[in-house]
Homo-oligomer: A and B are copies of this chain.
Amino acid sequence: MAKNEILKTPTFETWESLPTADRFAFFSNLPRTEAEELFLSLDISEQYELLAPLTYLEKRSWIRLLEPDDTADLIQCAKEEETNEILSLLDTATRKEVLVLLAYAEDEAGGLMNPRFARVRPNMSIDEAIQYLRKQSPHVETIHYVYVLDFRQQLLGIVSLRELFNAQLHQKIHEIMETDIITVPEEMDQAEVSQILSNYNLVAVPVVDATKIMKGIITFDDIADVIEEEATEDMQKMGGTEALDLPYLKTKFTHMIQKRMGWLAILFFGEMLTASAMGYFEHEISQAVVLALFIPLIISSGGNSGSQASTLVIRAMALGEVKIKDWWRVLRREIGSGLVMGSALGCIGFIRIILWHELWGTYGEHYLPLALTIAISLIGVVSWGTIAGSMLPFILRRYRFDPASASTPLVATLVDVTGLIIYFSVASVLISRYI
């Protein structure tokens, strides 16, 4: 939250290199100003941990260093029974602000915003505005933008400090203010807010309610965190776990198991269908055991091509490059890719079997129909993998689920069952006549 206008010595680097156990001692021994700099540059969860061993009065002096939006985050990070203690540490005005922020969900605009912003009236002269701003400067998050409000706190316009700086001293604010401005509503999701700030390259964006009354600002540095957070959540989901709430090494063991076990069990149940599916082909396998040897090769090729397709589509959706209406364009591309890549792998597989047979006579007299079965199955399975992998995110999104839930393991599981059916169907046509 633009905590440090300019940060001083990298005490932070030393801090980072220390083992967790030694950090508190290091922090306690720093001179106050350095300790403050360090404290303000830490993540909320680290700030929270540092404060835990302190006495009530010591806590107060640290908590009061924080901006209201950071304090609200800290409370959301603390145990529920500590909420009142932390609130009681604040001065009355800040406590009010923090309570308002706590009413918003953590991941919506209202939960991200800082209610302390620089404000002026439209009929002030530039000179007056600058005087007024000088007074506010120590109490607001940024003076990069100055917000022009009427007496009901409705947002009329914005003046950037740069424009204020370049204007003539006798001009009025309303003459130089920009009125055609981008605002976000309080309940907008943080991912959307971050898209807006990053698309328009804004340092800050104002948050307004339905009646245009200005509630606070969200600044660029909150957004860097949001972008990172959202990417992390997506990646974790794509890898087949629920998103962790804390960094990997800080997540408790039991909590980590919870986050991973759910999906692992669901996928396991899904994958049980492969045993059932193969039950139908038990006869074919007992007649030609050689077919079993290629099961992992066939199904994993489908899983891999599906994983590529789903990853590319999920990320493109998250960045807004691909929208739901593009599904047909994506499908056409992926069918094409699937056929080309499946044919290539099919060729490699075909040659591999012929080669092994010529060299070592591995696959008995029916090696040719076997090779053909493998080649054709690969084309089918790889194409099916790319289709399933690319379309699943669209289907999830259409029904308002998170497309990132189309994780690599989920796609692989879907493709495994169908891949086996494709493989054994091709085999029963091409091979069973020889047996």
Contact = CB atoms under 8 A, between A and B. Distances in A.
Interface of A: 1-10, 12, 16, 41, 133-134, 137-138, 143-145, 158, 160-163, 165-166, 178, 180-182, 194, 197-203, 220-221, 223-225, 227-228, 231-232, 234-236, 238-241, 244, 247-250, 253, 256-257, 260-261, 263-265, 267-269, 271-272, 274-275, 278-279, 282, 285-286, 289-290, 292-297, 299-301, 303-305, 307-308, 310-316, 319-322, 326, 329-330, 333, 336-337, 340-341, 344-345, 348-349, 352, 362, 382, 407-409, 412-413, 416, 420
A416 B198 contact: no
Contacts of A182: 7, 10
A341 to B, nearest CB: 6
A16 B133 CA distance: 37
10 contacts: A7-B202, A41-B201, A220-B221, A235-B235, A247-B319, A249-B330, A271-B296, A275-B293, A278-B296, A304-B409
A40 B165 CA distance: 23
A271 B308 contact: no
A322 B6 contact: no
A228 B290 contact: no
B240 A409 contact: no
Nearest to A130: B165
Contacts of A250: 321
B408 A4 contact: no
A292 B319 contact: no
B248 A420 contact: no
B290 A289 contact: no
B7 A256 contact: no
Contact of A274 (B161, B231, B296): B296
Nearest to A342: B264
Contacts of A202: 4, 6-7
Contact of A300 (B197, B310, B412): B412
Contacts of A311: 235-236, 238-241
Contact of A308 (B241, B247, B297): B241
B304 A278 contact: no
Contacts of A345: 264-265, 268
A228 B231 contact: yes
A224 B222 CA distance: 11
Given A228-B319, A295-B292, A345-B264, A409 B307 contact: yes
A329 B409 contact: no
Contacts of A341: 257, 260-261, 264
Contact of A253 (B223, B241, B247, B337): B337
Contacts of A200: 4, 7, 12, 41
A236 B282 contact: no
- Per CB-CB distance, the 8 closest pairs between chain A and chain B, nearest first, are A239-B311, A231-B231, A248-B316, A274-B296, A247-B321, A292-B292, A408-B408, A304-B409
Contact of A271 (B228, B274, B292, B297): B297
Given A271-B300, A409-B408, A4 B240 contact: no
Given A268-B301, A312-B239, A232 B279 contact: no
Contacts of A244: 312
A65 B390 CA distance: 39
A141 to B, nearest CB: 11
Contacts of A221: 198, 201, 220
A297 B413 CA distance: 9
A182 B9 CA distance: 8
A4 to B, nearest CB: 6
Contact of A282 (B201, B278, B290): B290
Contacts of A333: 253, 256
